[in-house]
Amino acid sequence: MSPMMDEMLVHEVVPRLRNVARTIPKIGHEDDEEIIQDCTLQAARMMDSAEKAGHPITAGNASYFAAKAARSGRRSYYTGRSDVMSPGCQIDGKARHEWLDDEIELEFGDTGTLHDVIAPPGYQGQEPDPAEEAARNLDWESFLAAHSPRHRIAILVLVEGGTMREAGKRCGLKDSAALVLKRRIAADLIEFFGEDVIRRLLDGVRPGWESDLRTVRDRHLSLVANGADGARIVER
């Protein structure tokens, strides 16, 4: 887009979209900020297309049609209504998403959650977080690289399930020296990763983003239940 259109988008279109974002129906975990971002992208596409075609377009037109498209269920990443993940499909009532944590009745009168139904055999409720695992692996490699070969050998033996006595033998140490090495490794781990991280690993505490996501979801469901998302829109 031209600099003039850029200025119009930032200073005239976006403020209008902020004013109407609360009136646009939200699907799933969408919030006002996400709707504003999506509408801004749709408005930018309209403005760019109109400019290239030589058609005049005002900030009011761009914001109005972008908000209208979002209100009907269209999003910048998909405009069809046949995909069950499409907001438009859900607004039409053709699809309904169920939370995996919803309680359902299982066979033989037992109760559980949808997650229990689709969980793989042997699942113990401690599904790893990929983001945390990736970050932990990078930190782990840095931790090993910062220590001597003797430390690395002992650490790897312990990680594989071996005892400190076995680690000491691999390192050529007697039991007393192996015990000192074990204490040093423990102190280095706490200093490098921090007590909170070590405690989370030992206690199996779930990632912080999960509890935040549950809080946002519960708040959204509460608003829906109270009719906050059912406000009717008056077109100007």
Q: What is the mean pLDDT of residues 164-180?
A: 85
Q: What is the pLDDT of residue 232?
A: 36
Domain boundaries, the chain: 3-95, 98-128, 130-203
CA 69 to chain centre: 25
Reported as a pLDDT band with limits 50, 70 and 90, residue 228 is very low
Q: Model confidence over 92-120: pLDDT tens digits?
A: 888 777 777 777 777 767 777 776 676 66
Closest CA to 126 of 196, 214, 207, 199: 207
Structure tokens at 134: 């990736």
User: Is the pLDDT confidence value at 212 over 60?
Assistant: no
Q: What is the pLDDT of residue 89?
A: 84
Q: What is the mean pLDDT of residues 15-20?
A: 94
Higher pLDDT, 22 or 144: 22
State which of 98-107, 144-153, 221-230 shows the largest mean pLDDT.
144-153
pTM of the model: 0.45
User: Is the pLDDT confidence value at 234 over 70?
Assistant: no
Instruction: For residue 121, count other CB atoms closer than 10 A to its CB.
Output: 4
Residue 229: DSSP 8-state? G
- What percentage of the chain reaches a pLDDT higher than 90? 26
Q: What is the pLDDT of residue 23?
A: 92
CA 197 to chain centre: 20
**Which alpha helices (DSSP H) does 23-105 contain, by range?**
32-53, 59-71, 87-91
DSSP string for residues in 79-100: --SSSTTSHHHHHTTS-----T
Q: What is the mean pLDDT of residues 138-143?
A: 80
